[in-house]
Every structure is written in structure tokens, then in C-alpha cells.
Structure 1
Amino acid sequence: MESIVRAVDVGFGNTKYVTGATGADIRCSVFPSVAYPSARDLSAVPIDGLFYEVGPEVNLAADTFRATQMHDRYTETPEYLALLRGALNQMKVPAIDLLVVGLPVAAFLAKKAALEKAMTGRHEVGGGQTVTVRKALAVAQPQGALVYYASLHEKLKTIEHEQSLIIDPGARTFDWLVAKGMRLVQKKSHSINRGMADVLQAIATEISEDIGTSYRDFDAIDVALRTGKSPMIYQKPYDMTRLMPIARTIAQQAVSSMMQWIEASYSFQNIILVGGGAFLFKKAVKEAFPKHKIHEIKDPMYANVKGFQIAGMNYATSILAKEGQFHSTGATAGGAA
């Protein structure tokens, strides 16, 4: 019987998850990484006596406080668990043989074992429903993008002899991963807190000073950056053109920090740009690597979670199916060099 494999990427901005996979067809969905607690709600995710509203319609439960948990212990919070369980609920399966999840590069080695343990077992997902996870595997988030890129370009074998750099600007963190083949080179890979949230906050601060009142509609700023359409403020379009140099400066700062960790950039056969902030950081990355082709992936927001799914299916086929049991191993997708 074929193993049921699923993947979840709980990011600081969005929670991405796989709803199903048939061969190369990986179906994904997403909802905001926002969890609103309440004392009673039988349809929400129960954790430690509270119920957390999460999922695609979470904005209907929104209050004036945007309940996010942007800090280094994020994966240990009830909000993280609520988001993970919200994704499990959306998958519509009672049990998962292998669940693949991700961690920022800087937290990978320190938190891998604890996260895998926390993900394994029986999860209450709301409405009296439960999902049992029989085994969990945590990988560095950009490593998923590397697997997905190699799969897309049919390089899963040839890439074993290449050196790659995967750059993943997300909501809170700017992650980069240096890999030899599929193995993470830990000493050259890292994360810094210089992601899209910093861009949105800086622009919101400038707008607040301009209009004379606190402006915190980060979603409107994000949409404006992605579409080029001005946000509506006091019933009028607000021209953000003069604020764009702020966004570009933050992107340049993140890339400059990365360059201090990387030696001999000429040795990279593949430089891959993914993540929800890829569109904004692309110019800074290209300026840093003028002699390289920067590979971009369609729907970059889903690159990590699709790679998690592929890695999980390969793992299930090569390890779990052959041995007929679950056990800890140095899987390709989670190894470090």
C-alpha cells in the first residue's frame, strides 16, 4: 500500500501545504500565518485550553491586533502548532505516514529533532476531528526549493555533482543555503531577520509620518508592492513611488549580509531565487551576482513546500517502503555537510 506523504511550510507570513500529489502533479494551498485565540469555539483548533481560529477564512475572525509570532522560538509556540494543525485539517486525511516540515536555516540543527518529535503523533484539528502523523521529517526550508528546482529541470542525478546557492527571502527571515549536491553546507548557510516584514514596516512608518496618524495596513502595502497599484488611504490612491528606495535598500542590506558568508561565488553552478519576497529582492541578488544566471521558479512561494513533498515521496519510496517500518535515518533532504 502506498504511503501517504504530505508537506507543510509554516512561514511567518503564510502557511503553505500540500493537499494531494499524483506523480509530478503536486496540489498546494495557502492561508495567512495568523492565529486568533478564543476561550470557546468547537470548530477551531484546540490547544492547552484555548481554541485558535486559523485557515483560509481567518480574516473573518480578525480583530485589530494581528496575532503573529515572529521570533526565534516560533516553532515552539501554540500559534505555530495551531497553524500546522489547521493545515492538517485542510488535507482531509485521517492519518499521514510521513509529514515533511521546514525550518529556517539558522535554526535547523538546533530545532530539527524537537520539531520532528512535536509533529509526530495524534493532532486535534478542530470540530472533533484528529489526524495521526506516524513520522515527521524536518528539513531546512530552502532545501525544499533545491529539490523542487532539480525535479523541474530533471537534474536530481546531475545536481549531485554541482554546488548550488538557494536564496529565500520570506516574511521575517532572509535565508540562504549553500549545497553540495543535495547536502547542506552548514558553515556557509544562514538566516537573518531582514525579510518582507522589515520592508512593510519601514514603508508603513514613512506613510504614518506623512499622513499624521498610525498606518498599519501591511497587507495593502504588500499588494501594492506586488501589483504596482497604489493603496487607498483616506479614499485616495497613495503614491508609494518615493518610498521604493527604502524597500530596495533593505533588500541590498540582506544580500550584503549573505555575501559575507559566501566565498568563491564563481563556483556555484546554480543560483536559485525563491520565496514570497523573491520579486522584491531579485534586483539586489542580480547585482550581487552579475556574471551568473539567476534561476527563478514559477510560483516561488510554493517552491519549498513542493520540494518537501518530493523529498518526502522519495524518502517513503526508498526507505520506508523497502524496510516496512519507520526509523530515523540520514535522509538526503535533511543531511548536512
Structure 2
Amino acid sequence: MSLVVRAVDVGYRQTKFVTGIAGASIRCASFPSVAYPSKRDQTKLAAIERRQTVSVPIGGLFYEVGPDVALAADAFRASQMHDRFTDTPEYLALLRGALRMMNVPVIDLLVVGLPVALLTLRKASLEKAMTGIHDVGGGKRVEVKKAMVMAQPQGALVYYATATNRLAGMKDQPSLVVDPGGRTFDWLVSRGMRLVQKKSHSLNRGVSDVLRAVASEISMEIGTRYMDVDAIDEALRLERPLILHQRPYDLVRLQRVVDKLAEQAVSSMMQWIDDPYSLRHIVLTGGGAWLFKRAVKAAFPKQKIQVLRDPMYANVRGFQIAGMNFAQTQATVDHLPNAKQVGVKS
């Protein structure tokens, strides 16, 4: 029986997870990283009000998560934009919500990610928290036998190397992965698939910073507080105007604000990279790739920037590939005869 491997990438804005594997195709899904707590299970409503969410019990409360979580919203949107995010019940609710939507009762290896700057600090504790039996709500439980934590951009590196058939050819070659996420702007320098820790880092200059800055500019211009960052996100991504007071509001006038914040993040990254000319592969990934693309290209004018297809899912697909490779290696090792069986003296 083959081992069951699954991957989840709980980001600050979106939770991405693997739903299945068919040959070389890794199917993924996502939902907003928002969890609304309640004293009772809000998903048990009249049929006319049902929404595509699940309710996860944690610490005496039920946390509603899923694609339709916006329908559970009140006037206050709780977000966990801080370094201890993985310690919160909201993080656990998002993770368990993803596990429930996978419809797999036992997972032999679960792969999750962390921002580069938090990898050393939180890897061991997160792996411990992910391992065991999870109550995912609805009378269901999911057992995770083993967990593995990777740096989030490392997933994109594995996915890029595999998707382009360069895994063997990239051995010892220097690469850079740039991963603008919801809260953090991460970058990873590697030799082959190995992380160069002292040149890799993350800082708090992600998509949310850009969206809040744009919202602030809009608020000052229209004379009232405007905080619909999701609408700004969609308008910028689709290159279409916002609708304010039933009229179109062109965000082109604020493009310089967006570009400046992206430039600041990339400039900070360049201080860590003392030999940019030697990079053989420069990969741009993450849900905010489209916002930072111009700044990254400006920083490396003589090199090609590889922008991954479906960049939001690149990390989690890479987690899945790395997990399957690890599981295959472990299965091979576990089935090898031990030293006494082959006559080796111990």
C-alpha cells in the first residue's frame, strides 16, 4: 500500500491545500485565511442559508472556515498578521478545515510551510502540533502520522525544478526564489535544492501592506474611511476600476504607491544577496507575484525571471512533491534488510 502524502500551505491571506494527485497533475484548492468563531456550529442552518464552509471545534468554540466564509462575516474581520500566527486557534482551524476538505482519514506524511525567517524558530513546534489526531468537525477525525515543515519558497523551488525537468541539472547551481505573500515578502537562495540560510530571509512587506497603503490613499481622497482590501486586490489583479459610490474609481492613479512599496521590499532583499550576477535561476512565485513582478525585473535587468504558472499554488505543489519524494525514500529504507540480515558486523 502506498503512503498517503498531503500538503497544506496556510498563508496569511489564503489557505492552499492538495486535494488529489492524478499522474503528474497535483490538484489544489484554496479558501480565505479567515476563521470566524462562534459558541455553536453555524454551519447547521436552514438549507436555504447553507454555505460552502465547515465548522471546526477548538477550545470550546466553533471556527467557521471555507470558500464562502465571507458570508459568515460581521463588521469586524479578525486577521492574525503576526509571528505567532501558527500558535493561534485560527491557524489550527484553517489547517483542520483544509484536512476535512481533503476527505482523507489518515495521512502518513503532512507537509506544511513557514516563512523563511520563522523556519528555525518554529519548525520543531509546528511539526509536533501537526502530528496526531485532529478533530476536524462534523464528527470526523483525521490522523496525521508524521509532519514535515519546509520554508515556503522552498516548495516553489522544488515545483519549478520538477515542472521544468531541471532537478538533476540544478545540482549545486545557485538559485533565487522570490515569494511575496500575504504578510511577508520571502526570498530563498539555494545551492541546488539546499537552502543557503544566511542569504535567505523574509520581512513584513507583503501584499497586505500594499493593499492597506492603497486603501489609505483612497480614504484620504474620498474623505471617508475605506478598508475593503479584497476589492482593491481584485481590481488591481484584474486591472479594472473599483466601484465607489456606484462609480468607477481608476486605480492607475495609485500605481506609483504600489510600485514604491514593492521596490522597498526588493531593495531590502538585495542587501542580502552579494553576488546576484551568479544566480542561474530566478523564480518569482506566491500570491503577490503580479504586484512585485516589475520591481523584481528591475533588480535583475540582465537576467531572465521565471514567473511560475498558478504562482499561488506553487509552494503547496512543491510541498507535495517533496513529501512524496521523502516518503518514497523512507519506504525504500524501511524495506531494506538490516545489518545483521546481510551479514554486516555492527
Normalising by structure 1, what TM-score? 0.95
SS in 1 for 2:233: helix
Say if 2:217 is the partner of 1:217: no
Match of 1:5 in 2: 5
> What one-letter code is carried by the residue in structure 2 that aligns with 1:3?
L
Q: Is the 8 Å Cα contact of residues 170 and 277 (structure 1) preserved in structure 2?
A: yes
Of residues 86, 92, 96 in structure 2, which corresponds to 1:75? 86
State the Cα deviation string for residues 240-293 of structure 1 (Å, max 9, x = none).
Answer: 121110000000000000000111111110000000111110110011011110
Q: Is the 8 Å Cα contact of residues 42 and 126 (structure 1) preserved in structure 2?
A: no
Larger radius of gyration: 2
Distance in 2, Cα, partners of 1:248 & 1:162: 31
State the Cα deviation string for residues 161-188 of structure 1 (Å, max 9, x = none).
Answer: 2110000001110000000111111100
Match of 2:49 in 1: none
SS in 1 for 2:171: helix
Say if 2:310 is the partner of 1:299: yes
Deviates more, 1:53-62 or 1:191-200: 53-62
Of residues 84, 106, 123 in structure 1, which corresponds to 2:117? 106
Matches within 5 A, 1:101-250: 101-250=112-261
Match of 2:48 in 1: none
Distance in 2, Cα, partners of 1:241 & 1:102: 34
Structure 1 spans left out of the alignment, 5+ residues: 326-337
> What one-letter code is carried by the residue in structure 2 that aligns with 1:10?
V
Residue 67 of structure 1: how far off its partner (Å) = 1.5
Distance in 1, Cα, partners of 2:71 & 2:331: 41
Distance in 2, Cα, partners of 1:324 & 1:69: 43
Match of 1:328 in 2: none
Distance in 2, Cα, partners of 1:126 & 1:230: 40
Distance in 1, Cα, partners of 2:146 & 2:248: 50
Match of 2:301 in 1: 290
Deviates more, 1:228-237 or 1:97-106: 228-237
Residue 319 of structure 1: how far off its partner (Å) = 1.3
Distance in 1, Cα, partners of 2:331 & 2:143: 17
Match of 1:329 in 2: none
Residue 95 of structure 1: how far off its partner (Å) = 0.7
Of residues 298, 319, 324 in structure 2, which corresponds to 1:308? 319
Residue 19 of structure 1: how far off its partner (Å) = 0.4
> What one-letter code is carried by the residue in structure 1 that aligns with 2:190?
A
State the Cα deviation string for residues 207-262 of structure 1 (Å, max 9, x = none).
Answer: 11111111111111001110111111111111212111000000000000000011
> What one-letter code is carried by the residue in structure 1 that aligns with 2:218?
I
SS in 1 for 2:267: helix
Distance in 2, Cα, partners of 1:217 & 1:246: 17
Distance in 1, Cα, partners of 2:189 & 2:36: 36
Match of 1:332 in 2: none
Distance in 1, Cα, partners of 2:197 & 2:10: 22
Match of 1:33 in 2: 33
Residue 42 of structure 1: how far off its partner (Å) = 7.0
Distance in 2, Cα, partners of 1:101 & 1:318: 19
Distance in 2, Cα, partners of 1:10 & 1:74: 10
Distance in 2, Cα, partners of 1:141 & 1:202: 25
Match of 1:56 in 2: 67
Distance in 1, Cα, partners of 2:35 & 2:143: 22
Q: How many residues align?
A: 325
Q: Is the 8 Å Cα contact of residues 173 and 191 (structure 1) preserved in structure 2?
A: yes
Say if 2:19 is the partner of 1:19: yes
> What one-letter code is carried by the residue in structure 2 that aligns with 1:20?
G
Q: Report sequence identity in percent.
A: 64
Q: Is the 8 Å Cα contact of residues 42 and 127 (structure 1) preserved in structure 2?
A: no
Residue 22 of structure 1: how far off its partner (Å) = 2.5
Cα root mean square deviation, aligned? 1.2
Structure 2 spans left out of the alignment, 5+ residues: 44-54, 337-346
SS in 2 for 1:27: strand
Distance in 2, Cα, partners of 1:270 & 1:45: 41
- Structure with larger RCO (C-alpha < 8 A, sep 6+): 1
Normalising by structure 2, what TM-score? 0.92
Distance in 1, Cα, partners of 2:79 & 2:286: 19
Q: Is the 8 Å Cα contact of residues 42 and 64 (structure 2) preserved in structure 1?
A: no
> What one-letter code is carried by the residue in structure 2 that aligns with 1:15?
T
